[in-house]
Structure 1
Amino acid sequence: MKKKILINIISLICFGALFVLFLNNGFPDWFRNNACKTLTNRVKEQNFVGVLNDKYQNKKSHLDETLIIDNNGKMLKLIVPTDKSGLYTFIEVGDSISKEKESMECYVKRDGIIKRFEIDFGCK
């Protein structure tokens, strides 16, 4: 019985130490890079020419910045949670938006002016 309690206490101390370590230093690079590459691959898979229907921060998913694009009648989600390009801040509902497959370049057209954004999640 004492041995079981001792093991539980040691496990709790180790878990607490790891928690404090991650809290102070953030998640390890390998974890961040894997998540970053997954986001990049999802964006690269998308191809669209449409109009921004809605934009919001998804409360159910860590406030991920989400764009809803009307792509010729088909609604498409573009999730750009840590993008450094300024796309989410710039784009407004009603703007035209386009992106080619396998590219991270996105073009937004407003009032006849086209602005280019290079979606960048900060992958290392």
Structure 2
Amino acid sequence: MSTSDHSAAPAATPSFAVSVPDAELEAEDLDPAQIVSGEPVVTGKVLWESADGRQVRGIWQITPGVVTDTEADELFVVVGGRATIEVEGGETLEVGPGSACVLREGDKTTWTVHETLRKAYHISC
């Protein structure tokens, strides 16, 4: 087979662009046991997921309040809002518009959301 023969390659997801600040998001469940204070509401949108479900890219938003979470292996960039993320046994991260953040799988975190936070993310499992 010649190197220019791509007929056997599987179909790929087409390239795309999304306006993260303007994207319409859908309601997501937030386990009441995760809420420490306030009445935070979570919305999101999956933009792409690998066939095996081990990689996910999307947009996520949370309104003000304090919540706990156990993290996945994630890279995200904040496009709006502000939060303090306390990593149990680790750093306290201050994030806002333009912040890139990496969380490790298994990190136990407490998110204090000061202003509705919207992020674009990539998760690997």
| TM-score of the superposed pair, with normalisation by structure 1 | 0.23
Normalising by structure 2, report the TM-score.
Answer: 0.23
Higher relative contact order (CA 8 A, sep 6+): 2
**Larger strand proportion of the pair:** 2
